[in-house]
Structure 1
Amino acid sequence: MPISFSPVLWLLAASVLIQLYYVGYYFLPFARRPEAAAADDSAAGPVSVLVCAHNELANLRRLLPLLLQQEYRPGFEVILIDDRSGDDTYLYVQQLTQYYPNVRLVSVHRTPEGLSPKKYALTLGIRAARHERLLFTDADCIPATRQWIREMQQDFARSADLVLGYSAYAPEPGFLNKLIRFETLLTGAQYLSFAWRGKPYMGVGRNLAYTQACFRTTKGFASHIRSLGGDDDLFVQDAARHGQRVAVQAEPAAHTLSEAAHTWSAWWRQKRRHLSAGKSYRFADRWRIGNFIGANLLFYFTTAALLFSRPDWVPLAVLWGVRTVAVGAAYAQIGRRLDDRLPVAWLPLLDVVYFFYYLALGISLFLYRNLRWK
């Protein structure tokens, strides 16, 4: 007598196969790729490092000295864009400019009505930059090493127009910190490995580099200047549409490091801003990301349906085991590759919580689309 399985079990199997495809084609090959040979320093050029800040004095006191300690022989300038700050940012940076000629200040006193404040401020900073190569980070970040500038600009010597970097969060006690770091690792696994496979779709403004020519080719932020978010991911979308060459720089020496949100509400607001730009992605990118997220959610929903209905325990256990081992191994290897390790024993729980948190965020954005910028 032939064995028959529940249709829900076949859905579970399909979701596992989709996840194994992402693991086998994107994540594991990217994690195992050999390190790129160091570029010849003779091909290096000076770099403009841009930091946009709004009332970030405490963070700037930590960041700017570390930027000035960067070891980069061709030279660099640091452009601080003071975006309508009400603290003493202007006075602090002015003092630095007296001692460091490579520190420059761009002040933004008002933003034209209807424009994204950050994109407008960044545009003014880019116009003031003296060098062709531009490197971006945020005021609440720090470079992981003194080689950050050197590592992030290497691919320009290999004809790249835009370079995607990775920005991790500092480990701290507590479940929320682990979840934020898991989300960051999983997002990094997607946008870095997809770009490595020739399908770039986003970057993070905390660690992103591109050339002045790339900015001009994409017409800057013109296509999304009125959207609050997207100075990083929507810019990458435009660059890909215009055929710009996108490189990935995932070496730990090229990372930046940030402090994660300390409350669930703060992280919720942050993720709503980040996800709000997704509706403007190219269809192929939304399809690729949606398949990955959807397969994971389908996996958990079909599991719940099987647990509370027909007990196909053996195939359910086999599929769960295969998926858990494969996905866990991929995430662990990516964590080692990016030097952003999480306790392996926590990965299954973090995975469950993250995907349902993501679903809640998506529902929230659909129902309540109003966003505010600082």
Structure 2
Amino acid sequence: MVILHVLFYIFVVVTFVQLFFYGYVFSSVKQKRRTASPQQTFPVSVLICAKNEAKNLTAFLPSILDQEYPNFEVVLINDSSTDATLQVMEQFKVNHSNIKIVNVKNIEAFWGNKKYALTLGIKAATHNRLLFTDADCQPVSRQWISEMSSHFTREHQLILGYGAYAKVKKSVLNKLIRFETFMTAVQYFSYTKLGNPYMGVGRNMAYTKELFFEARGFMDHMNIKSGDDDLFVNQIGDSRNTTICLSKNSFTESIAKETYSEWIVQKRRHITTAKNYKTKHKSALGMFFVSQFLFFAIGLILISTGFFWQIVLGLIVARYLALFINLSLASKKLNEKDLIPYFPLLEIFLIVTQFSIFIKNLLSKQNRWK
């Protein structure tokens, strides 16, 4: 009985922690609508770093080149590819004068390091405003450059966008991957709106060349193969220089992994990178995950024993009410409304997956990048 009392009080605490996140923190995925006044356009350099991406470049690069924007160049970075990536780039360049190719060859000091390749691409870019995406991504509209670049101001030099995954009907894995991507975005958008940016995704991000060099580029974490997006934001982002773009025309979309094992390899790398975040960010993210895990674990014990079941049930209802209200609002903004009915199941699946990845990462290291 004493143990149940202790578990009950722990459950109360973790539920209030969850209510803080779902009821307050995650209610910040919003953005004021801009007026329809004419916007000044600035020249923009779009950067795409590709390693063995000949097929994806052929499929998705046309959607970049077809953007409705008056002045932009596309910097294609061939990161030591062993397939026909460079040839595909050169074929596109024949018909598009705004393409610039940076052919990166491996050197011993930075063998297989994407950050080294990106640095060379950034140095080669003509314009100060840089917009990044991946070779396997495509904008969902022809206004992608316009929408993302419109958020640049004298103060805002780092813009965080949404990189979605294409929907696949009747695929549980696709829904799980999209839910994880959605929840990650809800968190980094919310923290940014609250003045504490901690990450972004390279599938859809913009910053200035000036900001990059002020931060000494990726030098503070060049030894870590991944993290050219999230570690850079974690290093340089703050309440003054960082903002978000939630316009649906600003989203990018890519194809999600088709097997669970492939996705797990990808997520292991991402989670491994997160250990290099600032302590305050690791603490906040850890608190959210631990409170999630304890909420389900202790809640199940208390419900099964019937201990103070009325109070426990009330807390569960309150927590799910906050979750559905704010995640539903966020899902509408991020065009993920089809996930709403599956929130409870997807959340449990994701917690189990993240816990298993955490255990695997304790037992072995992941140093790969695609």
Category of TM-score, reference length = shorter chain: over 0.9
Which of 140, 143, 147 is the aligned partner of 1:147?
A: 143
Normalising by structure 2, what TM-score? 0.94
Percent of aligned positions with the same letter in both sequences? 38
Residues 239 and 38 of structure 1, relative CA distance in 2, 3 Å threshold? farther
Q: Which of 281, 288, 302 pairs up with 1:285?
A: 281
CA shift for structure 1 position 80: 0.8
| Matched residue type, 1:202 | M
TM-score of the aligned structures, taking structure 1 as reference length: 0.93
Partner residue in 2 for 1:19: 18
| Matching of residue 201 in structure 1 with residue 198 in structure 2 | yes
| Conserved 8 A contact 2:164-2:254 | yes
Deviation of residue 352 (structure 1)? 0.8
- 2:48 counterpart of 1:51: yes
Whole-angstrom CA distance in 2 between matches of 1:94 and 1:5: 68
State the shift of 1:25 in Å.
Answer: 2.3
- Greater shift after overlay, 189-198 or 17-26? 17-26
What is residue 41 of structure 1 aligned with on the other side? 39
Q: Which runs of 5+ in 1 are unaligned?
A: none
The equivalent residue for 1:104 is: 100
How far off is 1:5 after superposition? 7.4
Residue equivalent to 2:347: 351
Residue 246 of structure 1 is matched in structure 2 by 242
2:66 corresponds to: 69
| 1:147-186, Cα deviation, whole Å (9 max, x unpaired) | 0001111121353111000111111131111111110111
* Alpha-carbon distance in 2 for matches of 1:124, 1:244: 27
Structure 2 residue aligned with 1:91: 87
Q: Is 1:180 paired with 2:181?
A: no
Shift of 1:111: 3.8
Name the counterpart of 1:28: 27
Structure 2 contact 43–72 (Cα < 8 Å) conserved: yes
Aligned-CA RMSD value: 1.9
TM-aligned CA distance change 1:366 to 1:261, over 3 Å: same
Q: 1:293 to 1:317 in 2, by over 3 A?
A: same
Q: CA deviation at 1:327?
A: 0.7
State the shift of 1:116 in Å: 5.3
1:310 positional shift: 5.2
SS in 2 for 1:78: strand
**In structure 1, distance between residues paired with 2:50 and 2:223:** 19
Displacement of 1:113 in angstroms is 3.5
Name 2:158's counterpart in structure 1. 162
Residue 305 of structure 2 corresponds to residue 306 of structure 1: no
Contact 1:115-1:225 within 8 A present in 2 as well: no
Residue aligned with 2:149, SS: helix
Structure 2: runs of 5 or more not aligned: none
Q: Match for 2:187: what amino acid?
A: Q
Structure 1 CA distance for aligned equivalents of residues 367 and 306 of structure 2: 44
Task: Please state how far the C-alpha of 1:324 moved relative to its aligned partner.
Answer: 1.4
- Take 2:276 and 2:68, find their aligned partners in 1: how far apart are those partners? 38
User: What do residues 220-242 of structure 1 show as CA deviations (whole Å, max 9, x unaligned)?
Assistant: 0001111011000110112137x
